[in-house]
Each structure stands twice: as C-alpha cells, then as structure tokens.
Structure 1
Amino acid sequence: MSQDAPILIIGAGQAGATAAAALRALGHDGGIVMVGGEAHAPYERPPLSKAVLADEQQDERIGVHAPGFYAEQGIDLRLATTVASLDPASATAHCADGQAISFSRCLLATGGRARALPALPEGQPRVHYLRSLADARGLRAALRRERAVLVIGGGFLGLETASTARAMGLAVTVVEAAPLLLQRAVPSVFSDWLAQRVRGLGIDLRLGCGIASIPPAADEVAVMLADGTALRAPLAVVAIGLHPNVGLAEAAGLALHPGNGGIQVDAHCRTSAPGVFAAGDCASQYQPLFGQEMRLESWQNANEQARIAAAAMLGVPTAPSALPWFWTDQLGCNIQMLGAMDPALRYTLRGSMEAPGADTPPRFLLLGMAGAQLRHAIAVNAGGDLRPLRNLIEQGTACDIGLLCDTALPLKQAAREATAVRASETQS
C-alpha cells in the first residue's frame, strides 16, 4: 500500500462522513476520497421517519455536515458512484463506472438495506420501505394522499413511522409478530407501557400476530394474519429490520460474523484484511457491556466506530467507545436508553409512568439493576437525568436503588448519596 495514496471511504453516510471529519481533525492532511451510491451528500437518517416524513422543509436540514464542508476540507466526495469490487492485496477499489481508486487505507462504511417481505417487494405499488431520503420523500407524498396506513413491524422504525402518520391524521394499524414491543431492547414493563401509549393515541396495535398470507388486492394492500384476521389498507410500510451491506466485503474475502452477518472488526475497527477497516451498521464488534459480538444499529455507534477507525488509520491513540446510548422520538415522547438491557435485570421506577395531564407528557426513569449495580437506564422525557447515571454504569459502582429512585432528591444528589450509602455498608 502506497502511503501517498488517499484514504478511501466507501459509503457516504453517517459513519463515512464522521470518519472523514475525524481524519482531518486528527491532523491528516493527505487525500481522502469518499464514495457513495446516493446522489445526496451524507445526511442523518434518524429524522427520515420523523421530521422529514412530516415536513419537506427538513430535507435540506439533515446533512451530517454543512454543504461546503467537503470542499473546504479537501475531501473528494464522489456521489452516485458504486464500488463494484475491492482488492485488499493491491489496495485498489474498482467502481461500476470503470474508474479504479488506489488507496493507502480503506474504511468500509456501507451501512445496510431494509429487510424485505418477499410478498411485498420494494417498488410494488402502495408498498413502502424507509431507508433513504428518496424513500422518505415517496412515503411522505403517499401519506398525504391517503387516509390510512398499515405498518408491518413494531420496532423503533415502525413505531416512529406510525407515530408520524398518526400525527398527520391517518388511521394507523401496526402489526408486530412478537408478543411485546421492542422485546429485545426493553423490559416487559416498558413494552406494556409503550403498547398502552400506542393504543391511547388511537393506533390499532396487533401484537403477537404473524402474517399468514398476503393475497393480491387491487388498489390496496391486503394482509391475512395468523389468527384469521384480514387487514386492508391503501398503503403499507414494511419496517422489519436491516440487512448489513457486506457483499463487497464478502467478495473481497473479509471475515464476516456467522450469526449477525456483519464485517468482523476488532476494538480498533480493523477487519481481517490489513489496512481495511469497517464502521457503522455493517460492522460486527465485541461489545463488553453486552458480553457478545454484535452489530449496533445506532447513530451513536456509527459515530463512535468512525472516530475510532479514523484514529486507528492514523496510528494515534483515542478514547475507547462510549457507553451505548440510543434515542427515539415517538408517540409524543423522547425516549433515551443508556447501557444494555438484560432480561435478568431487576427494574425499578423513578417517577410515574402516568401522564400528569392530558396536555402534559409523562416523565420517568426505569433503572435496571444487577444486584447493587446499575446496568441499564431508560429515560422518558427525562434525557438530562441520564448524565449523573453514566458513571455508575461505566464504573459498575454499587448503589442503593431506594435512594436512587427517591424523587424527593434531585437525581444528581440521589446518585451521590446512593453510592455513599453502599460504600459505607461495604466498609462496615
């Protein structure tokens, strides 16, 4: 690999754009080439199911960086360009348009694509998937034409889309095959609260309902559930998860995780091929808090892995990855999660899950404990309260859950006193 060749970033999304900025911030003054398949400069994806879906004026406000950033930083941004093959041995990428790009180091930030239902393929009339800005624009136009929508999938994306559609005045039905909402990410007590909130906003929620068949229908989408219920809607949104885009890596001989399908990387985001790194939704990495190798599909993880990969490319030290944090806006609430959910955790409530009034949203924390250690925190309309809890989770500090949940004390004071009580109990 020639060190005079540019650093190549394949994928012009959150991770790719963040890595490019990090390389410059760390002092790299050599060439950077970033290649992306979309015609748009890198943009934030979380708003697609929320602000962008409801308001076209948001389309121009979701860029990862300001419009002139890439030119100002000397980053060669090549949009609407697809890398067809990657040869790590010769440090060359070959594009579909015939151009070849030599590189000194390469970052794969190829993201993922929506998982499809074979009976409702992408591109079929009245069927929408939501992964790109173009997808959001198409769905937005459709939501404005119709009065009802069927959302298949009750994960974060499905619930966000359903929430936005309901706020736009549509009748919304959500079908989720699992018996609980978000059952792999939150405890059952929170799943139950979330389902109650969904139904309270007038959304028809069908839990534990697998799809038995999807019969053909004219001018609508028809779905037959496993319990015999027939659903019909003029519009359907399929939100059943993500496949990592790893075809390029697989063809290049890079190691993939046999379970989650992501590109295997070490703590510094290095793949099995020297000089090739991976970050974001396509990357599989060991997560100490979860105790397993996994893909974390989150805005924060894309940023963190991009930062770490950029530092590793330049051989400079950097802080380890931050504690996992995730957020979502839906159903009139801001929901933030810190740490890792485990079914074995014991959850305790700080505050009340009931809304104090018709026009006042609820505000509470759910704290997941393993013995005397805080491992997971969910904040509803209380994101600022997570700050004093971060160190408790990161350091595994023992604390008194009774004090931690005492709403008579400000949380910062409660956290301080809760740890002091446990420390004195240990010493005695």
Structure 2
Amino acid sequence: MTSPGVVIVGAGQAAAVAARALREQGYRGRITMLGRERHKPYERPPLSKAVLVAAEEPSLDVLAPEAWALGDIDLLSNSDATALDLSKRQVRLAGGQVLPYDMCLVATGGEANTLASAPAGHPQVHYVRTLDDARRLRAALQGKPKIAILGGGFLGLEIANSALSAGAAVTVLERATCLLDRFLPPEASAWLASGLREAGARLLLGASLHGVRSLPGGRMRVATDTGDLEVDEVVVAIGLSPNDALARGAGLEIAAGGGILVDASCRTSNEHVFACGDCTSQQRPGQAAPTRLESWQNANEQARTAAAAMLGAPLPAPVVPWFWTDQGKHNIQVLGLPAPDLEYVRRGDPASGKVLWIGHRDAIPLHGVAINAGADLRAIRPLFEQRRTVQFDDFRDDATHLRAWAKQMQAGAVSTV
C-alpha cells in the first residue's frame, strides 16, 4: 500500500522551499502541493517593484523546472482546501476530493486587509498580493495615472516608488505621523519621507481615511480629514492578516494576535501538522508573546525548519530576523526586531545616503537599520547573533573598520545568553 506522504496546503515561497528541503534531506515519499492560484510558486518581493516597471517581467519561479518535470512534486493548481480533519489525517478540497496525509504542512500565507469602500475587483482598486494583481496594476500604470496609495508601510512605499518611476502622480495616505515608525528610528523615517517628497510624491501623514467612492467617468474620490482627492486609481496597502481559517476550523491552536501557533520546530498543536510562513505565529527570544514575521527570510527559514522536523533531522540553527526593502534607488535592510525602549546610535550621515543605526538595550545590539549599507550590517551581524554587550564609541567613527570592530567586541565582551 502506497503511503499518502506529505500534503502541503499552499503553493507560495514557504511551501516551495519546504518541498525542496524535504527532497534535499532525502525524503522520497509523495509530496502533494495545493495552490489556489494558477501559477507555480513564485517570488513575491518583485511584485511591487520589477513586475510593475521593468521592461520585461523577471523570472519569479521559486523552484527549477526540473522539480516539476521529473514529477518530484505533485502540484494541484486552482485548488482550495476547505477542511482539515486531524483525526482522519485528511485534507478536503472545494471540489469534494479528499487527500490523506502522513504529515501535513500548512503554508497558506496571508490575505491582504481590505476596505469595504474599496472592494477588491473594482476596476480602479488594486490590492497587490498576487502576480495577477501586480500585472493588472502594471497595465494601469502605463497611462501615467493619478494614483492614491492607502497605507505607508513597506509595500505601499515600494509601490509608490515604482509608480513614480512610471510617471504616475502619487499621493500616499498614512494615518501615522511618521513613515514606518514601528520599524525605523525617527531619523531614518524623516530621511525616507524627505526622499519621497523630493521624488515627487505627496505624503499625507497623520491623515484619516473617511472612505472611497466611484465618480462618473471612472475616476475615484478618496475622502480624508484633510480634504478629498480625485484620482484615477486607488491602491490599498494596509497590511496582511494570517490565512489561518483552515487551521481554526480544524481546531489547531491559534495565537492571541492571530496566526497558527507553532513551536521552535514549526509543529502545531497537532503532532502530524506543521505550519510555516506568513500564516504562523511563533515565540521568539526577547519577545513577550508569540509574534508573526511577514518576510521572505522567515518563510524560507521556517520552511527548512519544518522539513527537518518532519523527517526527525537536526533543526537548522535559529537566525536573527532580517528584512530588506528597495525604496527607489535606495536599499534598506533591517536586522533584529524593534522595541519601544531601544536607544539608537548612528554611524554615517543620512544626507550622504549611507548610514547605519544600532538599536540597543543595555549596550546589547537588538535592532539594526542600514540604508545603502548592507555590507556594514553583515559585518556586525555576529554581535546580534551572540547578543554581545558592546562599546559604541568606535562604532560612531566613520574611520573605524567595522568588521575589525565587531571582532574586537566579540573577543572582549561577555555574552548575555
């Protein structure tokens, strides 16, 4: 009798990386992947950048063609899992098909938060979560429209920069008074806002949205507490919610803030079900409660961890969270997690376009932010990984060789772990 093998619910970045990791670690059983979309698993970061403006759409495939050509993974596209039966170890699909499993990996990602007054499917409203979403917005940008972007988070600002480069007139509406104030120190936030304004964007910070409605002739009116805007297109980028409905329905434990609760091995509250990626919530060092990390790195790392745990193999070493965003011609990288009580020290000048901040608590680096200084951030990464106490005087000096400074701090400081 053939074993049912592994069923992966979801066909995004995390799902594809997990499938590849299972094969790389020697698993030869059946792998069935269920995807809602018609596409094979693809990279999402380019959706807000190259897919919108590049002369030719980049290749986005997560897995090489050989993975599918050899029948290594059985992908069921346009498939929606509607129920997960933990006692029978079965996944039920919308069409009535039932798939048994030895182990199940839930990698259902996240769903874009929506506005009732700006519904998905409206001809002039855009939510950029899928490849088809991005292609539709790309087509709209060809006409150099007047566009309102609702939400000044990473995604909204990436789209703003792409739209500006395409010749669109861009207004960004953000209810916070500073851009990315939960992720960046105030100086970095101010630098980012200044750069967007110089590029031609209009920023409405600290503004409240009252609603969106259609106007005759296909235009849209965006009502705010600072006045109304008339635009051709509206992009809504107000964050993600974990797609944990399947897990909730099955009775798996869900974190208080949403997301499937997983342990360090990405195992859920059921021993035969694992989960990874944007749909999960996990307890992390230094955090008071389980948190969700919506990042390319986290999807990859959790996927590899889940695959190892399914096979009883040694788990990969935990990594410090890392995230990057391209904002126009500038690259911003973030290492570690922010917290409201951190103190920041700076190396470099924001006006120069290359600067590095370290956010620390009791001289222990916990949050790094690099603008066009990714190599510098990599040089000091060991201090974050080992949670070392450091002296910052030499760090502030541009003449200091950072890698040598980091090694000196490693040799002379005492780990707090």
* Bin of the TM-score, shorter chain as denominator length: over 0.9
SS in 2 for 1:145: coil
Q: Give the distance between the partners of 1:422 and 1:403, measured in 2 at CA.
A: 15
State how 1:16-415 maps to structure 2 within 5 Å. Answer: 16-55=15-54, 57-59=56-58, 61-72=59-70, 74-218=72-216, 219-227=218-226, 229-259=227-257, 261-355=258-352, 362-415=353-406
Q: CA deviation at 1:70?
A: 2.7
Which sections of structure 2, spanning at least 5 residues, go unmatched?
Answer: none
Q: Give the distance between the partners of 1:56 and 1:279, measured in 2 at CA.
A: 34
Q: Give the distance between the partners of 1:266 and 1:371, measured in 2 at CA.
A: 28
1:162-220 C-alpha deviation (Å, 9 max, x unpaired): 00000111111000011111121122222111111111111101100011233442221
Q: CA deviation at 1:247?
A: 1.3
1:362-394 C-alpha deviation (Å, 9 max, x unpaired): 111111121221111111111111222111011
Q: Give the distance between the partners of 1:3 and 1:365, measured in 2 at CA.
A: 55
Q: Give the distance between the partners of 2:42 and 2:214, measured in 1 at CA.
A: 36
Bigger mean CA deviation after superposition, 284-293 or 346-355:
284-293
C-alpha contact 1:367 1:376 (8 A) present in aligned 2 = yes
1:324-348 C-alpha deviation (Å, 9 max, x unpaired): 0000011310111111111211111
Equivalent AA in structure 2 for residue 318 of structure 1: L
Equivalent AA in structure 2 for residue 370 of structure 1: R
1:140/1:22 CA distance change after superposition, 3 Å: same
1:224-270 C-alpha deviation (Å, 9 max, x unpaired): 2123x1111111100001111111111111111122x1011111111
Equivalent AA in structure 2 for residue 412 of structure 1: R
SS in 2 for 1:293: coil
Q: Give the distance between the partners of 2:146 and 2:65, measured in 1 at CA.
A: 36
Bigger mean CA deviation after superposition, 159-168 or 312-321:
312-321
Equivalent AA in structure 2 for residue 331 of structure 1: G
SS in 1 for 2:65: coil
C-alpha contact 1:187 1:341 (8 A) present in aligned 2 = no
Equivalent AA in structure 1 for residue 145 of structure 2: R
Q: CA deviation at 1:321?
A: 2.6
1:105-150 C-alpha deviation (Å, 9 max, x unpaired): 0000000111001100001121110000000000000111243211
Q: Give the distance between the partners of 1:326 and 1:210, measured in 2 at CA.
A: 28
TM-score by length of 2: 0.95
1:412/1:13 CA distance change after superposition, 3 Å: same
Equivalent AA in structure 2 for residue 8 of structure 1: V
C-alpha contact 1:244 1:262 (8 A) present in aligned 2 = yes
Q: Give the distance between the partners of 1:165 and 1:418, measured in 2 at CA.
A: 43
Q: Give the distance between the partners of 2:293 and 2:401, measured in 1 at CA.
A: 32
Which sections of structure 1, spanning at least 5 residues, go unmatched?
Answer: 356-361, 424-428
Q: CA deviation at 1:27?
A: 0.8
SS in 2 for 1:163: helix
For this pair of structures, how many residues does the alignment match? 413
SS in 2 for 1:334: strand
1:3/1:323 CA distance change after superposition, 3 Å: farther
SS in 2 for 1:9: strand
Equivalent AA in structure 2 for residue 258 of structure 1: A
C-alpha contact 1:180 1:191 (8 A) present in aligned 2 = yes
SS in 1 for 2:57: helix
Query: Cα RMSD over matched residues?
Result: 1.6
Partner of 1:358: none
SS in 1 for 2:108: coil
1:22-62 C-alpha deviation (Å, 9 max, x unpaired): 00111111111111011100000010000111136225x01
1:12/1:403 CA distance change after superposition, 3 Å: same
Alignment identity in percent?
46
Q: CA deviation at 1:422?
A: 5.4
C-alpha contact 1:53 1:137 (8 A) present in aligned 2 = yes
